[in-house]
Amino acid sequence: MTDTTNGEVLLELDGITKQFPGVLANDRVDFDVKSGEVHTLLGENGAGKSTLMKILYGLYNADEGEIRLRGNPVTISSPSDAIEQGIGMIHQHFMLVPTLTVAENVALGLPSSKRMLMDLTPVRQRIRELSDTYGLAVDPDSYIWQLAVGERQRVEILKAIYRDVSLLILDEPTSVLTPAEVDDLFETLRQMTRGGRGLVFISHKLHEVMALSDRITVLRLGRVTGRTTPAETSREDLAHMMVGRQVKLAPTRTDSTVGEARLTVRGLNVIGDRGTPAVTDLDIEVRSGEVVGIAGVSGNGQRELAEALSGLRPVASGEVIINGTDTTNRSPKEIRRLSVSYIPEERMRDGTVAEFSVAENLILTDHDLPPISRRGFLDFNQIKQVGSALVKRFTVKTPTLETPTSSLSGGNIQKLIIARELSGDPELLIAAQPTRGVDIGAAEYIHSVLMGQRAQGTAILLISEDLDEVMGLADRIAVMFEGRIMGVLDRAEATISRLGLLMAGVEEPNDSE
Amino acid sequence: MSDFFTATVLLATLASGIRLATPFLLAALGETLGQKSGVLNLGVEGVMLLGAYGAYYATLRTDSVLIGIGVGVLVGAFMGVVYGVVTLALKAEQGISGIGIFIFGLGISDLLFQKQVGTPTPIDGLGHFSIPVLGDLPLIGEALFQQNVLVYVAFLLVPALWFVINRTTFGLNVKAVGETPEAADSLGVSVDRTRYITIIVGNAMAGLAGAALALELAIFQQNLTNGHGFIAIALVYFGAWRPSGVMAGALVFGLIQAMVLQWKTLGIVVGTTASIVGMFPAVLTILVLVVVSRGTGAPAALTRPFERGH
Amino acid sequence: MLIGAVLAAGLIGAVMLLVLGANPLTGYAALIDGAFGGTKNLANSALKAMPLLLVGAGITVAFRTGVINIGGEGQIIAGAILSTLLVLALPDVPRLILLPSAFLFGAIGGAIWGGMAGALKSYAGVNEILSTIMLNIIAVQILNLLLRGPLMDPGEIERGSRIPHTERLSGNADLPILPGGTRLHFGVIVAVVMAVVCYVLLFRTTQGLRLRASGHNPFASLYAGMSVKRNVVLAFMYSGAMCGLAGVTLVFGSEGHRLATDGGATTFTGAAGFNGIVAALFGGLHPLWTIPASFLFGALLVGANAMQREVQVPAALILGLNGLVVVFVVASLQTRVRLAQIASRLRGEEQADLSLSDEASSAEAGADTS
């Protein structure tokens, strides 16, 4: 790596084509990376950027095309080949073994550890040296499960530097970081490029792309639809290239009348999966006709909050009052009967039964009520009627009502869930990460549906890690950090920098600004 | 009952308890290794039956206990290859395919026994081997250090397995593959190769466990193991995936069995009460599982097939 | 695929026959003739299939709820014991009341034994495979205890032969023989009707929807307001009740009309608790398809006895091969499901969305659980 001079072409992908049954994931894609640069691969979910990088890292094999490293054609058919060629990859979800230490994670699979017995002393030594050089503070003897998300990412970067990669792929590396941590990461990445490494940065966050990239390649439907640099383009142009049409980056807001409190939470404490407090002394109120946003990096108690409110997780102390009824520690069923709907964060895990048909999923929460249930038997005519009405109203794209839900796209599965949850015009809606991972078209639609519900007087608690979304939709924004509300800002006073500080756990002085 | 609480009887019970713990221990250590790499093998019982029959039959024919042991291990290793292909190459669901292996072992060991042997014919079991010096210790010498060779092998495998898991690169790979196979794969550690090794070694140990049982009892019959293999799986949970914990569990079950036998010999339990005592290990297993089920430490990828790129 | 599994097992069986010095062709010819040749053999196959069908259809309910019921043996025994106790206590009750009551008690016995595994799973987190195996062992011991003790035929005690079985049970509880001159009895009808009941339960009722939802995705079921724990217990009780009914048919339809044990592990059940699993898997875990699947495996078992007589290879071969069928079926099902998943996931451009968002959510799950 050290013998590389900046500007030399490190990698060339030439005419890469990858066909999956029924879909062309990559269609003659050309892409190259020079040493010392950050080349961003931008595109919507499903545009083919992850497929392309998985081909480069040996996780998939290309049907056609050539990979050249420093001008020489190479075959990469497994991650070991990629590692041998000096390619590293930081995956969207961390490739770390939580029950092993930092040093063990770094040592895993190293050529030097092909020996029978394990000797971690030199590994620890080298980790300390690299930590110092790159400002990646981390204790080699900590277990991964003890580390915060930001620290884990440092371990991932250390793994790559340790292996002396000349080319590093970063797949959506900022999705779990606070704005301040993103700044630190970018500083480390710039230091790496100064040393002559080439970086591939995969993202869909336009402002980050503009801030970090030297060059940008945009993919849509498996094809390259644009090549540009930050100097020559704007966020709007990039969005246009990604989606293929003009998009509004901010949702249209409508008027609504704020009414009485629908959800009141006082002194809420909830215990997380690991037995530690996940939500601490939380107070919040949502009134009819308003959207209250919960911003924050995910993993700060948002999921536990939503689960406690919907009855899926016990409340340790405090009270939850919905429409004047105390629902603390009531069952999900009882809470639903109070006209409460919940769009869950993990739609594939919680929101639908993948193997069930679209129709079955549409009646999943009402299956035991008339008219669907008649003396314990299912009324299939009713199911069909209800199902087709909902599919039509919420424009769920599905071949038939009997289609297994798993074969729908992410955006359409989310529409299905929203159709079911909004079918009864709920008085309170808890929406967790409602547009995560869906395409821009579906996200726009979902935003407009939420705004419509707000206008009708639904109280909406919107939990989202997407700051643009929260700032676009919410009337008030509460920021969660380590289970606490750090502050609540009115829509008018919420800026990225103020929210970012709160997200990092920095309390605002009382006389703010 | 007072007959039971004499030094001689208690020491004899201890000695036989250690001996009876051996099949549990061997099978449970093998299962521990497999589970550490993320593979649940519910077929242990079937593999033990096949290993037991193989060892019994080979010993019957050759009069060599060593050949018997060797055959037991080989049968187990062969079943490991089969189970590896089924769960790794074909990615079959581990729970049910393990049951298939169990039913296969139950049927085939019975078939071969009926066809090749017919009537239960005793063999010369394992001779006892007194460890110099230690075996001559008063009282405990006889109980602990005048055992058959498989007892020593089983108990030496406890620190050996600990060492492999915690002090070797292979062990690091095993743990990584059992927790986060994607991470191991992304660093060039072959998930399948690691799991093939643990499955084959683990099944070979199940085969050895069957051999230990048959050679200890010096006999074979239909369903000889009667739940030993399943109890061994429970012991892995009991021992929280640690060799020393597994050993403790195996000793508890071995000692209980020895105690029951001793009670029968002494006439403390007779007739139909023997049936009540006979269900003791099963009841205990359920109780153990109730107590330890909340415990943590299960490899995160246990029973999850690995497929690159998903 | 499924036929392939049987053919593969059959091929391995042929090799084993060769190794054991028997002609596979003669052996299999005897097997097929013994299973299907003539009314009498067909009737015997149907009789053998009857407990497999009851067990198998019940097991589909458990499987569809996401739990594996390996406790058929124990649940059969529990049903047999409870119904036998009833008939021993009230031998003179008229048949029209006694026989249905015997079935009811059998179902209750099986449901209790199965429900224990369900409760252990739901409320104590005990792996159901291990608990059902242990409950099998316990049931066998209880059976042996009863038959060697309080329930032993007084005649056996008098004669001193002490064979562990009950006296001949009340004729009022005999399963009526169906017309047609075969040994086919009323139990066959019960089995088929109950398989249909299982189908209706699973696919036509709201409770069936809940059971299946719990089986496919317990998280989504909880989210939708269902109680997964309750559903698991219920599924085990239904499944156990079906096994209990099998126990009733095995006792009151037996030639000796008594409850017996051989003192070993398989007792009077003939491993129906395990073979029923094979039938259920082979029937694609669908209660209705389990009907022909059970008949096929019942026939195999009957034919195996004919084969044993013809080429002197013990019928245990079939149990062993059934184990292989389980392995092959699971392997091939998995392959098929996997292929279907990959195909559907990537069908159409938008589909790639799904796999990506799946990754995103599993990333979250990983981060949260680690």
Residues 6+ apart with CB under 8 A from B291: none
Residue A199, pLDDT above cutoff 50: yes
Which of B175, B182, B188 is closest, CB to CB, to A83?
B188
Helices marked H in A28-74 = 49-56
Look up residue A179 and give its amino acid. Answer: P
- Cβ-defined contact of B104 to C324 (cutoff 8 Å): yes
B301 — contact with chain A (CB < 8 Å)?
Answer: no
Residue C116, pLDDT above cutoff 90: yes
Nearest Cα residue to A1 out of A100, A79, A69, A93? A69
Which of B99, B227, B279 is closest, CB to CB, to C277?
B99
Best of C19, C113, C137, C143 to disrupt the B interface (most B CBs within 10 Å) is: C137
Instruction: For residue B183, give the chain A residue with the closest CA.
Output: A95
Q: How confident is the model at residue A2 (pLDDT cuts 50, 70, 90)?
A: very low
Instruction: For residue B180, give the chain A residue with the closest CA.
Output: A97
Residue A214, pLDDT above cutoff 60: yes
Three-state SS for A227? strand
Residue A297 to chain B, least CA–CA distance (Å): 24
pLDDT of residue B113: 95
pLDDT of residue A512: 44
Structural domains for chain A: 9-243 (3.40.50.300), 256-339+428-434+458-508 (3.40.50.300), 345-424 (no CATH)
Residue B180, pLDDT above cutoff 90: yes
Residue B295, pLDDT above cutoff 80: no
Residue C345, pLDDT above cutoff 50: no
Q: Are strands A484-490 and A261-271 parallel, antiparallel or unpaired?
A: unpaired
pLDDT of residue B1: 58
C223 — contact with chain A (CB < 8 Å)?
Answer: yes
Residue B126 lies in a domain: yes
Query: Angle C120-C121-C124 (CA atoms, 0-180°, nearest 5)?
Result: 60
C323 — contact with chain B (CB < 8 Å)?
Answer: yes
Residue A278, pLDDT above cutoff 50: yes
pLDDT of residue C202: 96
Average pLDDT over residues A469-491: 94
- Cβ-defined contact of B167 to A118 (cutoff 8 Å): yes
Out of A437-446, B242-251, C154-163, give the one with best mean pLDDT: B242-251
Best of C12, C325, C330, C368 to disrupt the B interface (most B CBs within 10 Å) is: C330
- Cβ-defined contact of B286 to C70 (cutoff 8 Å): no
- Which chain B residues touch C142 with a CB distance below 8 Å? 275, 279
Best of B186, B189, B294, B296 to disrupt the A interface (most A CBs within 10 Å) is: B186
Provide the mean pLDDT of chain C. 87
- Cβ-defined contact of A406 to C363 (cutoff 8 Å): no
pLDDT digits (tens, 9 = 90+) for C171-215: 999 999 999 888 899 999 999 999 999 999 999 999 999 999 999
Among the ranges given (A249-253, A351-355, C9-13, C140-144), the one the predictor scored with the smallest mean pLDDT:
A249-253
Q: How far is CA A308 from CA A295, A304, A317, A327, A430, in A?
A: 17, 6, 11, 10, 11
Q: State percent of chain B over pLDDT 70.
A: 96
- Cβ-defined contact of C134 to B108 (cutoff 8 Å): no
Q: How confident is the model at residue A113 (pLDDT cuts 50, 70, 90)?
A: low
Q: CB neighbours (10 Å) of residue A262? A: 27
Contact A242, A265 (CB under 8 A): no
pLDDT of residue A6: 65
Residue B74 lies in a domain: yes
Residue B12, pLDDT above cutoff 60: yes
CA distance C355 to C368: 20
Contact A461, A478 (CB under 8 A): no
C340 — contact with chain A (CB < 8 Å)?
Answer: no
pLDDT digits (tens, 9 = 90+) for A22-53: 778 999 999 999 999 999 999 887 788 889 99
pLDDT of residue C263: 62
Contact A53, A89 (CB under 8 A): yes
pLDDT of residue A1: 41
Task: For residue B19, give the H/E element and its range.
Answer: helix B7-36
pLDDT of residue B2: 66
Residue C334, pLDDT above cutoff 90: no
pLDDT digits (tens, 9 = 90+) for A48-93: 888 999 999 998 999 999 999 999 999 999 999 999 999 999 988 8
C255 — contact with chain A (CB < 8 Å)?
Answer: no
- Cβ-defined contact of B285 to C130 (cutoff 8 Å): yes
pLDDT of residue B141: 74
What residue has token string 């562990």?
C164
Among the ranges given (A105-109, B29-33, B72-76), the one the predictor scored with the smallest mean pLDDT:
A105-109
Provide the mean pLDDT of chain B. 90
pLDDT of residue C365: 32
- Which chain B residues touch A57 with a CB distance below 8 Å? 186
Provide the mean pLDDT of chain A. 90
- Which chain C residues touch A351 with a CB distance below 8 Å? 220, 223
Residue B92, pLDDT above cutoff 50: yes
Residue B166 lies in a domain: yes
Q: CB neighbours (10 Å) of residue A114? A: 8
Number of domains chain B is built from: 1
Assign residue B128 the CATH number of its domain.
Answer: 1.10.3470
Q: What is the ipTM of this complex?
A: 0.87
Residue B308 lies in a domain: no
Which of A60, A91, A108 is closest, CB to CB, to B172?
A108
Instruction: For residue C274, give the chain B residue with the closest CA.
Output: B103
Residue B279 lies in a domain: yes
User: What own/partner pairs with CB < 8 Å and gap ≥ 24 does B246-249 have?
Assistant: B246/B25, B246/B28, B246/B29, B246/B32, B246/B158, B247/B25, B247/B155, B247/B158, B249/B24, B249/B28, B249/B288
Average pLDDT over residues C86-98: 96
Per-window interface: C 331-360 vs B, CB < 8 A:
331-335, 338, 355
Residue B225, pLDDT above cutoff 70: yes
